[in-house]
Structure formats: structure tokens, C-alpha cells
């Protein structure tokens, strides 16, 4: 996996409190608190936090925002952390079309592609093992006849 920062539960909780307080105020402060919360959630070690962060980012992307680039990157981080590599790759490729110099996105895309290949090879190996076991069972059954 890519070398991405991790957040602890206390950081997420602090961001959640800031988010709730800023939501009452609205405006730019509310948007900033929402982005901080989403950042903390997608960088969490807990899958449930990552899931909530992805949902929050998807909701934010349906609204007009000047931070689309950063929101898409964070969405890709969340997708990557959830091991939704194909979604992450699609998001990152779309992001890089409009922002070709975005080094963090390039680096994450490289990690995504490496993990897709690694998981593919693991899948091929598991498939070969299953076929080998079935073949051995069939061979043993034929020899007993």
C-alpha cells in the first residue's frame, strides 16, 4: 500500500466536534471543517471511518466547490483504503486529466496500479492452486478405478 498518513480516533473525534460547531455557522468555515473531517476519516485505520469519509466526499462533490481537485484526491485515497482499486484508478486518472502536475495523485495512481497487479497475481495464484487441487483429486480418483 502507498505511504499515506494515518489518523487516530482522537483526531477524528476532534474534527467531528469542529464540523458540528461549524455546521451551525455555515459558510466557508463550515466547508473547511467538512474537508478536515473527510480528510481525517479517509486516513483512518478503521474501515467504518473511511466509509463515512468517502460518503461525505461524494456528497460534497455533488455541490459546487472550488476545492474539487482536493476533494477528488481525498475520494481516491478513501477508495484506495477500501481496496476499491479500480474506482481509485478512475478517479485519479480523471483528476490528472485536469491537473497533470499533481504529484500526490501521480504517486497514489502508481501505488494503485501496483496493487491491482499484485492482487491480480495473487488471484491467479489462488486460481491455479484450486485447479491443482481439483486435478490432484481427479487423478487420485482415476487411479483408484
Residue 145 has pLDDT above 70, yes or no: no
- Residues pairing with 7 in the sheet: 44
* 120 is a domain residue: no
Of all residues in the chain, the percent with pLDDT exceeding 90 is: 62
* 38 is a domain residue: yes
What pLDDT shows up at residue 5? 86
* 2 is a domain residue: no
Average pLDDT (90-112) is 95
* 3 is a domain residue: no
Residue 8 gets which letter from DSSP? -
CB 90 within 8 A of CB 121: no
Task: Dig out the grid coordinates for 143 from the structure.
Answer: 487411479
What pLDDT shows up at residue 38? 96
Q: How many residues does the chain have?
A: 145
What pLDDT shows up at residue 135? 63
* 68 is a domain residue: yes
* 129 is a domain residue: no
* 65 is a domain residue: yes
**Average pLDDT of every residue of the chain:** 86
| Gap between the Cα atoms of 31 and 6, Å rounded | 22
Q: Tell me: the pLDDT tens digits for 72-82?
A: 999 999 999 99
Average pLDDT (133-141) is 66
* 134 is a domain residue: no
Average pLDDT (12-17) is 94
Average pLDDT (49-68) is 88
What pLDDT shows up at residue 122? 47
Q: Which range marks the domain in which residue 53 is found?
A: 9-109
What pLDDT shows up at residue 69? 93
What pLDDT shows up at residue 96? 96
How many domains does one find in the chain? Answer: 1
Residue 104: burial class (beta carbons within 10 Å; 0-12, 13-18, 19+) = middle
Average pLDDT (82-89) is 94
CATH code of the domain containing 55 = 1.25.40.10
Q: Tell me: the pLDDT tens digits for 33-51?
A: 999 999 999 999 999 999 9
Amino acid at each position: 500500500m502507498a505511504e499515506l498518513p494515518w489518523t487516530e480516533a482522537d483526531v477524528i473525534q476532534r474534527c467531528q466536534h469542529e464540523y458540528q460547531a461549524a455546521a451551525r455557522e455555515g459558510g466557508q468555515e463550515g466547508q473547511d471543517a467538512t474537508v478536515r473531517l473527510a480528510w481525517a476519516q479517509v486516513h483512518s485505520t478503521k474501515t467504518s471511518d473511511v466509509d463515512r469519509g468517502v460518503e461525505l466526499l461524494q456528497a460534497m462533490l455533488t455541490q459546487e466547490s472550488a476545492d474539487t481537485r482536493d476533494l477528488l484526491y481525498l475520494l481516491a485515497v478513501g477508495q484506495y483504503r477500501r481496496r476499491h482499486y479500480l474506482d481509485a484508478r478512475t478517479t485519479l486518472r480523471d483528476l490528472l486529466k485536469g491537473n497533470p502536475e499533481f504529484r500526490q495523485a501521480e504517486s497514489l495512481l502508481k501505488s494503485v496500479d501496483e496493487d491491482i497487479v499484485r492482487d491480480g497475481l495473487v488471484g491467479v495464484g489462488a486460481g491455479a492452486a484450486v485447479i491443482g487441487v481439483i486435478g490432484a483429486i481427479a487423478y487420485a480418483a482415476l487411479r483408484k478405478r
